[in-house]
Amino acid sequence: MERHKKQRHRFALKHRHWTVEEWKRVVWSDETKVERVGFGGLEWVWKRPAGGAITEQHVKGTVKFGGGGLMMWACATSQGVGYACRIDGGLDGQLYTHILDDEFLQTLEYYGLEKDEIIFQQDNDSKHTSRLARRWFEGKGVKVLSWPSQSPDLNPMEHLWHHLKQRLAAYPTEACNVDSLWERVQTEWEKIPVDACVHLIESMPKRIAAVLKAQGGYTKY
């Protein structure tokens, strides 16, 4: 949508001079669904060669979660991946603030990060922007990064999800149930090296430049 392109372009303009060190202050977060059977990974599309622009037709929109696996939340920092949690049932504003109280704050404590020194990233899901969530951030003194809608190519978490799901797909047998799948998820999430997080965060200036070049359009990331 044209509205999303404008939002993305404004975001890129606002952050075009951010240094890698500034991006390293961000704590990234996201939810994803992990399938028990198969790998919900890349989907290929055809586009014109020689640098043809990526358009909305090439990008799969966000969808609601349902059936076939488990839903999880996790975060990541420049010092490594943070705590992750399994979400049973639906996610609402109240459960989200519980996650922030537990996994998010535990991540800050684990890495010795101060709330007033980091910036928290989340997308614009209604649970994230609910009144409960806004009050939580205000009460804790946590600055939230203003994020453009429909921008998975700007979030390093998307690449971490892909890495995780590739590792899960490499298991010789399928998980026998959701509990077994969650055990594998926890094992593989904790194995993600710090270098992977650092590399992705260091790519942020290039991602911003790519969005500017595309005039707010989607990028190769």
How much is the pLDDT for 136? 98
Q: What digits encode the pLDDT tens for the residues 203-215?
A: 999 999 999 999 9
Average pLDDT, the chain: 88
pLDDT for the residue numbered 38: 63
Tell whether the model's pLDDT for residue 49 goes beyond 90. Answer: no
Task: Say yes or no to pLDDT of 194 above 90.
Answer: yes
Please state the rounded mean pLDDT for residues 89-106: 95
Residue 36 pLDDT grade (very low, low, confident, very high; cuts 50, 70, 90): confident
Rounded to an integer, the average pLDDT of 5-33 is 97
pLDDT at 39: 54
Domain boundaries, the chain: 2-37+63-213
**Residue 4 DSSP symbol:** H
pLDDT level of residue 42 (50, 70, 90 thresholds): very low
Q: 37 to each of 68, 85, 171, 177, 178, how far by Cα in Å?
A: 8, 20, 11, 10, 10
CATH of domain 2-37+63-213: 3.30.420.10
Angle made by CA atoms 201, 212, 10, in degrees to the nearest 5: 90
pLDDT given at position 180: 95
Q: Decide: 50 and 209 in contact? Cβ < 8 Å.
A: no
Does the pLDDT of residue 40 top 60, yes or no? no
Specify whether the CB–CB gap between 156 and 80 falls below 8 A: no
Residue 90 binned pLDDT confidence (cut-offs 50, 70, 90): confident
Can you tell me the mean pLDDT for 29-55?
61
